[in-house]
Amino acid sequence: MDSRSRLVLVTTMTALMVCMVTLIATFLNIGLRHDFLLQWFKAYIVGWPVAAITGFLFMPTARRITDRILTLIGGAA
């Protein structure tokens, strides 16, 4: 996977994942109150860049580990 494809994949994947995780975590922590969207958005703005950078840096390692696990359990790599 070239770096441009990896960047688009990581950006899309982490944006969606962080959206859902911060939405649920914010709801569980503060409930549905008047400033819920503002608090959720603040969590998202902080969390997404961290997730995107982490994903971009570690995706190649995660792919290698996935290939090894699948080889060990007899799956196709």
- Please state the domain extents for the chain: 3-72
Confidence of residue 2 (pLDDT cuts 50, 70, 90): confident
24-39 pLDDT tens trace: 999 999 999 999 999 9
Q: Looking at the whole model, is its pTM more than 0.85?
A: no
Mean pLDDT score, 43-68: 93
Determine the pLDDT at residue 6.
84
Using one digit for the tens of pLDDT, what is the confidence trace for 58-76?
A: 988 999 999 999 999 986 6
Query: For 43-47, which contacts have Cβ atoms below 8 Å and span 24 or more sequence positions?
Result: 44/18, 44/19, 47/18, 47/21, 47/22
Cα 67 to Cα 38, 48, 57, 63, 64, distances in angstroms: 41, 27, 17, 6, 5
